[in-house]
Structure 1
Amino acid sequence: MPGNSLGKALTITTFGESHGPAIGVVIDGIPAGLPLSKEDIEFELSFRRPGKLFVSGRREKDEPEILSGIYNGRTTGAPVAIIIRNTDVISSLYEEVHYKPRPGHADLPYIMKYGFENWDYRGGGRASARETATRVAAGAIAKKLLMLTNTVIAGHLISLGNVELEEKVSFEDILCSKYSPVRASKKSLEEKYEKLLMEATKEGDSYGGVAEIVVNNPPIGLGEPVFDKIKADLAKAVMSIPAVVGFEYGLGFKAAHMRGSEANDEIVLKDGKLGWKYNNAGGILGGLTNGEQIILRCAFKPTSSIRKPQKTIDLRTMKETEISVIGRHDPAVAIRGVAVVEAMVALVLADHAIRAGIIPQVRLDDKQASLIEENWKRYVNACRPTEGSQ
């Protein structure tokens, strides 16, 4: 079965290749009555867009075109189809790649599975991270739906290479990191990340990083045991992102080195309500959300396309050779990856919220639509830099 779709109540299907005419997504299951505009989607896409400092030099506008499912500024209940045209394509940069599969890439596995004659080598084709722009577009809709419960999702980079965040940060710090060119939640960390990236770029190399996502005010009880546990669906969604090589939530792998008396969450009363003292479980217990902040992390490997010469095989001669990958590539895919992880988390949570009846499956009433729009505007305007501050 093809693997281009995700979700049950809220379903997305993505399509398109890196150097094709366009990439796109069809989102099905959006209730009617959701206020939705091109600007809403562009806002989220702006934090993944290439062509900026410390990321790929490919200058794509990432301008979404909404083809269906919207009437008078609101969703109709029909599928919403969005395309993003590829406008800055230079396929000639990949002629060497046609016969020399790149180390660390999907090139050779795709050739092995689909056949050399069917492999779109231009920019990595369907395997390219260019595809993730469609996820962010769909994620914008999911994020807006979650405003019905005032659920806000924010992410930041807690490490890049060997540089790590060593202090506690607030949710507002994490939310504001979207305006950092390297997704750092502290200025001092931003400076360290930038220095590291400048060195890597000069040497023709790259770095990996770890993104942390925090979900504020998540609905309680999301998740369907046993195989659709919220942790399982989150893990699948996040691990489907190109270059993601690891996933954890709460204590994560640290729990494997602890005693039960250390790892267990103590149940306490918080303002007269049941809660957990430490949130060691990262907002998820028994595969269900428990109302505490959801805290998850994922590891991005270093960008595989680097200028440093690496060994490969020339498929024309079947002899060893070297390749130095030219083109426009991120020195650390983790930077723009944060926006993609946020989107995937939003899509999973919105899907489960519809399945649980927390978000209406068929139609939002005017009161609900107004609440969503009010909370969305507050979210969009949060942390916005003043004119001249960047």
Structure 2
Amino acid sequence: MGNSFGRIFRISTFGESHGKGLGVVIDGCPAGLEIDEDFIWQEMQRRKPGQSKITTQRKEEDEFQILSGVFEGKSTGTPIGIVIMNTDQKSKDYSHIADKFRPSHADYTYFEKYGIRDYRGGGRSSARETAARVAAGAIAKMMLRHFGISVQAYVSQVGDLRLDKTYQELNLEHTEENIVRCPDGEMAEQMIAYIDEVRKSRDTVGGIVSCVAKGVPPGLGEPVFDRLHAEIGKAMLSINAVKGFEYGSGFEGVKMRGSDHNDAFYREGDLVKTKTNHSGGIQGGISNGQDIYFNVAFKPVATIMQDQESVNELGESVTVSGKGRHDPCVVPRAVPIVEAMCALVLADYLLISRTNKL
């Protein structure tokens, strides 16, 4: 239960952080899509651990193998199975918390739900599971490219360091030019220095990933409970450590009056456009053809290299000491995950839209 996502373009992920491996089954991918394995590898490299001094030092190359659903470089229309083997587990780093609950982790809630938990790196609750999502998201991106749709995310905030520029004011092609994945070079340097400072103090910090989808046609989305923005929100809130989601004007929109917030329509050739885009490309839960943009807030990573008070499985008071290899800030590696989940939603809704019309 709860391990699958999507209705037509549907994925099911499996595996644990310190198990033999993890993977994904992608169902509903149309036949004839060219599958670029180099592109999948590139996306996996963007998410993998050990990228820089401001990410976890776990060394996983995240090599993958496509087991099914692809023949002679094209999708066959049957389920695509992908596996990613784990190679650098250090399960002994977690033996000290075998019967202890780490503060703000899923240890306690998993134990209460199942009566058993895989304490090695968090098991199924580990962010390592997102490697499978990125692999599936890469295939979704290939499908979106076929329709002229792009999805780009970037880091817009780390702690109090906030990039006060809209995505229209930025050149998102610069996002991958630095290790924090902020397209503004000056702000990127400040963010990197701050994350490194936090790391050296044996602590962690949160941040925000912003994302924009361009080229989305009007008409994607379903009334009433399957609105496009609701599904994107669900996708983002399913990512580890996410604490908030807003699209369009978001919470800032409450400061505006309707006369300022309304997006006036105009016609340009055969296209209907809006003069502003406070709606974030979605109105009534359905895309209107404008850019879809949103922010995703990530909490500080729960594992800190400091002693913390907690309890064990018997309810006894204990001290939990952080060990192992962990990200001081998750947002640099979360960028491709946010993109992947957005791409999966859009791919699914594109296929759904094709079933709604003659």
Which TM bucket (shorter chain)? over 0.9
1:155 to 150, 153, 158: 153
Distance 1:315 1:43, change over 3 A: same
Structure 1 residues 252, 174: CA separation in 2 closer, same or farther (over 3 Å shift)? same
Residue 29 (structure 1) aligned with residue 28 (structure 2):
yes
- Could you tell me which residue of structure 1 aligns to residue 106 of structure 2? 106
Aligned to 1:8: 7
The aligned runs of 1:166-245 (5 Å cut-off) are 166-170=164-168, 173-245=171-243
Q: Give me the whole-angstrom Cα distance separating, in 2, the residues matched to 1:63 and 1:188.
A: 33
CA deviations on 1:176-200 (whole Å, 9 max, x unpaired) are: 3134210111110110111111111
1:350 aligned residue: 347
Q: Which amino acid aligns with 2:31?
A: A
Residue 65 of structure 1: aligned partner: 65
The answer on whether the counterparts of 1:65 and 1:82 sit within 8 Å (CA) in structure 2 is yes
The aligned residue for residue 275 of structure 2 is 277
- Determine the C-alpha separation between the residues in 1 that align with 2:353 and 2:170: 28
Percent identity over the alignment is: 44
In structure 2, distance between residues paired with 1:188 and 1:357: 44
- Aligned partner of 2:341: which letter? M
In structure 2, the residue corresponding to 1:96 is in which secondary structure? helix
SS of residue matched to 1:198: helix
CA–CA distance in structure 2, aligned partners of residues 221 and 245 of structure 1:
29
Matching residue of 1:97? 97
Deviation, 1:295, is 0.4
AA paired with 1:67?
L
Aligned-pair Cα RMSD in Å: 1.6
1:308 paired residue number: 306
How many Å separate the matches in 2 of 1:303 and 1:273?
Answer: 44
Q: What CA distance in whole angstroms lies between the structure 1 residues aligned with 2:112 and 2:327?
A: 27
How far 1:310 sits from its partner (Å)?
1.4
TM-score normalised by the chain length of structure 1:
0.88
How much has 1:324 moved relative to structure 2?
2.0
- Aligned pair 1:88/2:96, yes or no? no
* Letter of the 2:347 counterpart: A
> Are the counterparts in 2 of residues 38 and 64 from structure 1 also a CA contact under 8 Å?
no
Contact 1:171 1:214 in 2 (8 A): no
In structure 2, the CA distance between the partners of 1:294 and 1:171, relative to structure 1 (3 Å rule), is: farther
Q: Which aligned pairs between 1:129-168 and structure 2 lie closer than 5 A?
A: 129-168=127-166
Q: Distance in 1 between matches of 2:29 and 2:310?
A: 46
Alpha-carbon separation, structure 2, partners of 1:99 and 1:207: 27
CA distance, structure 2, for counterparts of residue 32 and residue 3 of structure 1: 27
User: What is the CA–CA distance in structure 1 between the aligned matches of 2:293 and 2:86, rounded to whole Å?
Assistant: 34
- TM-score, normalised to structure 2, is 0.96
2:282 maps to amino acid: I
Distance 2:110 2:258 in 1: 44
CA distance in structure 2 between the aligned counterparts of 1:175 and 1:84, rounded to whole angstroms: 28
Whether contact under 8 Å (1:139, 1:344) holds in the other structure is yes
Q: Is the 8 A contact 1:169 1:185 kept in 2?
A: no
What code does the residue aligned with 2:45 have?
A: S
Gaps of 5+ in 2: none
- Residues 265-324 of structure 1, C-alpha deviations (whole Å, 9 max, x = no match): 1112345632111101111111011111100111000000111221111335x3322222
Residue pairs, 1:368-387, within 5 angstroms: none
Between the two proteins, the alignment pairs up a number of residues equal to 355
For 1:227 and 1:57, the matched residues in 2 are separated by: 41
Query: What is the CA–CA distance in structure 2 between the aligned matches of 1:164 and 1:352, rounded to whole Å?
Result: 32
Q: Cα deviation per residue 1:126-168 (whole Å; 9 max; x = unaligned)?
A: 0000000000000000000001111110000110000000234
The amino acid across from 2:5 in the alignment is: L
Aligned to 1:51: 50
Indicate the SS of the match to 1:157. strand
Counterpart residue type for residue 119 of structure 1: R
Which is worse superposed, 239-248 or 271-280? 271-280
3-state SS of paired residue (1:47): helix
Query: What residue identity is the alignment partner of 1:332?
Result: C
- 1:329 counterpart = 2:297: no
> Secondary structure of the residue that 1:146 maps to in structure 2?
helix
The amino acid that maps onto 2:252 is K
Gaps of at least 5 residues in structure 1 are 359-390
Q: How does 1:280-295 map to 2 (within 5 A)?
A: 280-295=278-293
- What SS does the aligned partner of 2:151 have? strand
Instruction: Check whether the contact 1:155–1:175 (CA below 8 A) recurs between aligned residues.
Output: no
